[in-house]
């Protein structure tokens, strides 16, 4: 599990360890933290290796989950060249391992491959509208290039691949300073600080609770070899950023007020998945409503000492 100490990766590790798998977690701890996997370190079927996927590693495995890459704009823009290398060279390295070991390998791709979409909602057949030279391109185009590599290794070398395109995910173990909109709003609300909205707040997102996402990813890995994706995994419920902010304030009982800042470059105005393929091939769809998921996430943020976390980059 690359990126296994991250927000989503650590939840995948939990599931695999609980199922009795021998799990090797790789992470360089750039935007993740060891506390996410601390409870697993004493398990006989769990091993942690501090490693950067930009560099090759030789392991004997039968399944690879490739989640390594900073996912928030401030973090992936902090060192854009490294972000691109993580996506591209990381994909080459895990695909090479999968080829050598004859292992299944699943790529954590992203809804960002659709860019600022001209088609709404977004099916997997939509090829996207991405600015290849914009400030977000290191992540968007890095993930698109990784998908290309996965399919070329599949076509040329018969590597057994899977690709999931993940839409906005939230839940416990989000880093308070990961720069994602949910964690930003919750952190600000719990401190009764102004909640910062970039742009008008009318831009939309679809928020998927982490437990739902993990279930979809596990089903994709365990699914038939005839369905390799890409497949959208996300919640088709669509909310504006302003609605999200208001809901966080309401649930948390915060005294925060909403403040507006200029929009950021290339920020997509709409983001909503079509999940027909996931329903058909994986019998999957999300079950946790946004209000319930936010309540669980806010409870988690209340349970941690936010002052003990540091922002991974100066951008947050």
Global pTM?
0.95
Quick one: average pLDDT of 260-286? 93
- Active-site pick, 65, 76, 139, 177: 139
Residue 134's pLDDT is what? 94
Least confident of 34-43, 174-183, 187-196: 174-183
Break the chain into its structural domains and give their ranges.
7-308
In this predicted model, what pLDDT tens digit does every residue of 133-154 receive, in sequence order?
999 999 999 999 999 999 999 9
- CA–CA dist 95, 93 (Å, integer): 5
User: Is 139 among the residues known to form the active site?
Assistant: yes
Quick one: average pLDDT of 37-64? 97
Quick one: average pLDDT of 57-72? 96
Residue 151's pLDDT is what? 98
Quick one: average pLDDT of 265-290? 94
Architecture of domain 7-308: 3-Layer(aba) Sandwich (3.40)
Q: Is the pLDDT of residue 316 over 70?
A: no
In this predicted model, what pLDDT tens digit does every residue of 72-107 receive, in sequence order?
888 899 999 999 999 999 999 999 999 999 999 999
């Amino acid at each position: 599990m690359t990126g296994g100490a991250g927000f989503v990766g650590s939840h995948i590790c939990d599931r695999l360890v609980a199922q009795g798998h021998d799990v090797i977690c790789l992470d360089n701890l750039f935007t993740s933290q060891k506390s996410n996997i601390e409870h697993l370190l004493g398990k006989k079927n769990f091993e942690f290796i501090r490693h950067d996927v930009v560099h090759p590693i030789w392991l004997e495995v039968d399944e690879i989950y490739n989640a390594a890459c900073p996912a928030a704009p401030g973090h992936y823009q902090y060192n854009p060249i490294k972000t691109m290398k993580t996506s591209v060279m990381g994909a080459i390295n895990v695909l090479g391992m999968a080829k050598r070991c004859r292992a299944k390998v699943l790529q954590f791709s992203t809804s960002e491959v659709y860019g600022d979409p001209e088609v709404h909602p977004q099916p997997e057949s939509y090829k996207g509208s991405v600015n290849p030279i914009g400030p977000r391109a290191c992540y968007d185009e890095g993930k698109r290039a990784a998908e290309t590599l996965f399919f070329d290794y599949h076509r040329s070398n018969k590597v057994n691949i899977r690709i999931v395109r993940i839409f906005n995910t939230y839940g416990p173990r989000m880093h308070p300073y990961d720069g994602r909109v949910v964690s930003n709003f919750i952190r600000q609300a719990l401190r009764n600080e102004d909640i910062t909205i970039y742009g008008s707040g009318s831009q939309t997102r679809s928020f998927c609770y982490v437990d739902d996402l993990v279930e979809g990813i596990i089903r994709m890995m365990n699914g038939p070899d005839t369905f390799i994706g890409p497949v959208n995994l996300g919640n088709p419920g669509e909310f504006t950023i302003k609605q999200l902010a208001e809901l966080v304030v309401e649930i948390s009982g915060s005294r925060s007020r909403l403040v507006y800042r200029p929009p950021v470059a290339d920020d997509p105005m709409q983001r909503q998945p079509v999940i027909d393929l996931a329903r058909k091939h994986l019998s999957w769809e999300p079950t946790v409503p946004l209000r319930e998921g936010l309540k669980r996430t806010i409870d988690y943020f209340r349970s941690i000492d936010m002052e003990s976390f540091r922002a991974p980059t100066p951008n947050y």
